[in-house]
Amino acid sequence: MEGRFFPNKAALFMMLLTVCIAPTLVKGQGTRVGFYSSSCPRAEAIIRSTVQAHFKSDPTVAPGLLRMHFHDCFVQGCDGSILIDGPNAEKTAGPNRLLRGYEVIDDAKTQLEAACAGVVSCADILALAARDSVFLTNGRSWAVPTGRRDGRVSLASDTANLPGFRDSVDVQKKKFADLGLNTLDLVALVGGHTIGTGACQLFSYRLYNFTNTTSSGADASIDPSFVSQLRSLCPQNGDGTRRVALDTGSPSRFDASFFANLRSGRGFWSPIKSYGPMPPPKPSCKAF
Q: Is 255 among the annotated ligand-binding positions?
A: yes
Q: Is 194 among the annotated ligand-binding positions?
A: yes
Q: Is 279 among the annotated ligand-binding positions?
A: no
Length of the chain as a residue count: 288
Q: Is 33 among the annotated ligand-binding positions?
A: no
Contact 163, 185 (CB under 8 A): no
Which run of H or of E encompasses 243? strand 243-245
Q: Distance between CA atoms of 146 and 59, rounded to whole angstroms?
A: 25
| Beta strands at 197-199 and 243-245: parallel, antiparallel or unpaired | antiparallel
Q: Is 79 among the annotated ligand-binding positions?
A: yes
Contact 287, 122 (CB under 8 A): yes
Q: Is 85 among the annotated ligand-binding positions?
A: no
The residues annotated as belonging to the active site are 71
The per-residue DSSP string of 39-89 comes to T-TTHHHHHHHHHHHHHHH-TTHHHHHHHHHHHHHTTTSSSSGGG--STTS
Q: Is 132 among the annotated ligand-binding positions?
A: no
Q: Is 110 among the annotated ligand-binding positions?
A: no
Which run of H or of E encompasses 102? helix 102-115
Q: What is the rounded (10 degree) CA torsion for 25, 165, 192, 252? A: 150
Q: Is 81 among the annotated ligand-binding positions?
A: yes
- Closest by alpha carbon to 161, among 148, 152, 174, 151? 174
Q: Name the binding residues.
A: 72, 75, 77, 79, 81, 90, 163, 193-194, 247, 255
Q: Name the binding residues for heme b.
A: 193
